[in-house]
Amino acid sequence: MKGRARLYVGDDLVAFAPVKIEKPKSGVIVWDMMEVKELFEMFHAFLRLPQDYEITGVFFDIVYHRWVLIVESDAIPLPEPGVMLPRINPSYQRTEDGKVRLVDLNITER
C-alpha cells in the first residue's frame, strides 16, 4: 500500500503554472466530482514531482484560498490510522540558466 500526503499550492506557486489556473468563485459551492486528468498532469509537471509521485486528488480549500493536492507514493510513509495525512513541503532552486528545479520534498506530520 502506498503512502499519501497533502501538498498545498498557493498563489506563489500557481503563478508559475504554464496555463492560468482559475480559482472557484467565492460564494459558489459545488459538491461534485469530476475527472480532470489534464489538471493532475499539469500540477505534476509544473511542480516537478518525481515520476513515482502520483496526484490522486485536487481540491480547493476556500478557507485558506489554496489548492490541496493529495499525492501518493511508495516513498511516503503510511500514517497511523485516524491521523491526518502528512504534509509535503517542496523546496525549489533556480539554476544558473534560469530554470527551476526541485531540490527536496520534505514530509512533515503537520
Euclidean distance between CA atoms 19 and 70, whole angstroms:
21
Q: For residue 96, what is its C-alpha cell?
A: 544558473
pLDDT in tens, the chain (110 residues): 899 999 999 888 888 788 888 777 766 666 565 556 678 888 999 899 999 999 999 888 888 889 999 999 999 988 888 889 999 999 999 899 988 899 999 998 76
Q: At 41, which amino acid appears?
A: E
Going by the DSSP 8-state scheme, the letter that residue 94 receives in this structure is E
